[in-house]
Structure 1
C-alpha cells in the first residue's frame, strides 16, 4: 500500500512538473525564459518608465553620460519592443521606444506597466506648436492632455442643434465642441459637404473600476506632484543653435495648460489656430494622449515633456523649422528630463531627511518624558 501511494505521488509530481512546464512555455505570449528575466529585473524595482516615440528622440538620452545600462540585464526584447534597463541620474529606469502613433504608444505603455514594476511614467519627445507666442526649441510641460482624433462626423444638413447619431444612447456628446468645415471655405460662406465633426471623450476602464462599466475622459491631468515639481525647471539654460543656425532667443522651459494628440501630423495653420483659440492648446503630437489614457486607466502617475520643433502649419519667421530644429528640440527634451529626474531624487532625499528629523524629535520626547 505504501509503495502504491509513493508511486501515485511520484506520478502526480511528474504531472505537475509537466503542467508547470507547459504553462511556462505557453504563459500568454511570455515564455518561461522571458518571465524569469522579467522577475529578476522586477526584484530590483520599482522603476521610472521613460517612454519615447522615435529613435532620434531617444538617441540623446542613450548617448548621455547620465544613462547607465544595467550590467546584468541591459535590455529585454518583447513584442517587438526593446525595454532598456538602467539608471538615469542614479534612479532606476526602464526606457522603451513606442514608434509613431496613438496605437503604438498605447500598446507600448500598457506592456511596460503590465510587465514591470513601474512607479511613474515620464514621456518625452518633440511636438508641433499651436501657440505663436512660443518658439521652436522651447520645452513644454502640459497639465492636461486630450485625444482629438475621436470624432462623430455629422450628416450633411444637420447642425449644432441636431442630435448626433447614437447620442441618445449615451455613446456620443455635443458638450465638448465641434469643427465646422465651411468656416474654412475660401472667400465663401457656402455650406461644405464635409459638414461638422464633433470631438468626443474616450471610454476608459480603470483598474479600480467595475469591469465592463465604462467611464469617459477628455482632458486627462498629469500627476499633480510631478507638475508642481516641474515648476523648478523653468529658468533652465537650453541649447538654441544647430551648427551655425541659431534661434532668435534662448529656448525656455514652460508649463502650459493643454496638449492634444491624434494620428495626424498637423502641418496646417488653420487647424493650428482653431486648436489654440477653441481649446487653448499649445502642444500638438501623435502619442502623448495615448500614454495619458493608459496611465489614467492603470492609475499610474505620469508627466509629458515635449520640445517644440515647429509652428504647426508654418508662418514662423524661422526657415526650415522641423527639418532643421528637430534634433535640437529632441536634445532639449532630454536635458529637461534629466534635470527633472535629478529633482525627483533631491525631493525624495529631502522627504527622507524630514522623516529622520521627525523620528529624532519623537525619540527626544520619549527620552525626556
Structure 2
C-alpha cells in the first residue's frame, strides 16, 4: 500500500515539471534532489527537537554525511542525509512544541522514502523510581494537552458540551483544580479539565472517517528490540566535580506524555504519575507518535531524563545543568538502537 502511495505522490509532484517554475510549489531543482535522495533509500528518519540535542549526534563519528546530498532544506527545515552505523538515515530538527514536531514529521514522511522513525531527546521525569540521566523508552505515548474545560458547578456526572456528538468524552478522566487548593474545603472556579483523545485519520481508512486515540503504541518490533539496550553504560559526570548520584541506566517503561507545557511543578508531576502512570514528560514525542500512527510508519521514542519536573530532590529542576549530559546519553542509546536495526 505504501509503495502505491509513494508512486502516486511522485506522479503528482512530477506535474511540477510540466509547468513554469513560478507556478510550482516545490522548485524543480529541489524535486530532482529529493528524487535522487529517495533512490538511495529507504531511510530511518531520526527526529530531534533542538540543536543542543542534535549536535552530539552530528558530531559523532558514527554519523557519516552523504557526500552528494549532505542535506536538503525544505519549508524551513534542514533534512540531513547520511548513514548511522551503516543504516541510511535522514536527521531533522523539529523545534519546540507539538505543532513543530507534527509538521516536521509529516514533511519527513511526505517527501522522503522513510521506513521507520526514531525520535529522541531529553524529558522531565515523573517516575520516583528513576533518576536524572536515565534513558527511558515508553511503550505508549499520549497528548495530555487536549482538554474540555468544564464550567463551574458541573461535575463528573455532567455531560460535556458536544459529548453526545462524539466530539468529547469523559472516558479518559479529569483534573479537579480544587484538589490542589491550599484549603481543600474551598471550591475552585476553574473546576475540572477533562483529558481528550486525539482525532486521527489513518491512511488505511476512508478519508475524513475520524477515529480517536489517546494512548498511541510504539512499534512492537522496535520496542521488543529495545530490550537489548538495557544494561548499556551511560555517562554520569558532567565534569570532575559534577556527577550524578548513581550510574544512569536504560529502562523500558509503560507510558510517556507530551503537551505544549514545560512542567516544573510537583503537584502536576504527581498527578501525571498517579493518573497516567507517566514517566517522561516532554513537548514533542506524542506529536511524532500520532503522525507515524496515522501514516502507518514504525515509531519509537528515546528520552533521557534531564530533570524531575518539579519533584523533590537535591538535584531536581536542574535541567540547565544536566540537559547536556542527558542529551549525550540519549544520543548514545539512539546510536546503539540504530545499530540493532542494521544487524
Shorter-chain TM-score: which interval?
over 0.9
How many Å apart are 1:314 and its aligned residue? 3.5
2:342 is the counterpart of 1:342:
no
2:221 is the counterpart of 1:225:
yes
Which residue of 2 is the match for residue 325 of structure 1? 322
SS at match of 2:187: coil
Is the CA contact (8 Å cut-off) linking 2:310 and 2:317 kept in structure 1? no
Which residue of 2 is the match for residue 267 of structure 1? 264
Larger Rg, first or second structure (1 or 2)? 1
Q: Structure 2 matches for 1:140-219, cutoff 5 A?
A: 140-219=136-215
Measure, in 2, the Cα distance between the counterparts of 1:142 and 1:127. Answer: 12
Q: Which moved more, 1:129-138 or 1:18-27?
A: 18-27
CA deviations 1:239-278 (Å, max 9, x no partner) are 0001120111000000000000000001100000001011
How many Å apart are 1:345 and its aligned residue? 1.4
How many Å apart are 1:23 and its aligned residue? 5.7
Which residue of 1 is the match for residue 54 of structure 2? 58
CA deviations 1:49-104 (Å, max 9, x no partner) are 00000000000000000000000000010100000000000110000000000000
Specify whether residues 45 and 324 from structure 1 end up closer, same or farther in structure 2 by C-alpha distance, changes over 3 A only: same
2:276 is the counterpart of 1:276:
no
How many Å apart are 1:190 and its aligned residue? 1.1
Q: Which moved more, 1:106-115 or 1:336-345?
A: 336-345
How many Å apart are 1:319 and its aligned residue? 5.7
Measure, in 2, the Cα distance between the counterparts of 1:210 and 1:63. Answer: 44
Structure 1 portions without partners, runs of 5+: 1-17, 347-369
Measure, in 2, the Cα distance between the counterparts of 1:88 and 1:205. Answer: 32
Which residue of 2 is the match for residue 288 of structure 1? 285
How many Å apart are 1:315 and its aligned residue? 1.1
Which residue of 1 is the match for residue 95 of structure 2? 99
Structure 2 portions without partners, runs of 5+: 1-14
Specify whether residues 256 and 40 from structure 1 end up closer, same or farther in structure 2 by C-alpha distance, changes over 3 A only: same
Task: Tell me how large the CA RMSD over aligned residues is.
Answer: 1.3
Specify whether residues 282 and 319 from structure 1 end up closer, same or farther in structure 2 by C-alpha distance, changes over 3 A only: closer
Measure, in 2, the Cα distance between the counterparts of 1:285 and 1:189. Answer: 33
Specify whether residues 23 and 208 from structure 1 end up closer, same or farther in structure 2 by C-alpha distance, changes over 3 A only: farther
Aligned length: 328
Measure, in 1, the Cα distance between the counterparts of 2:180 and 2:301. Answer: 32
Q: TM-score, normalised by structure 2?
A: 0.94
CA deviations 1:317-355 (Å, max 9, x no partner) are 226621110000000000000001111112xxxxxxxxx
CA deviations 1:8-50 (Å, max 9, x no partner) are xxxxxxxxxx9844266533x3111110000000000000000
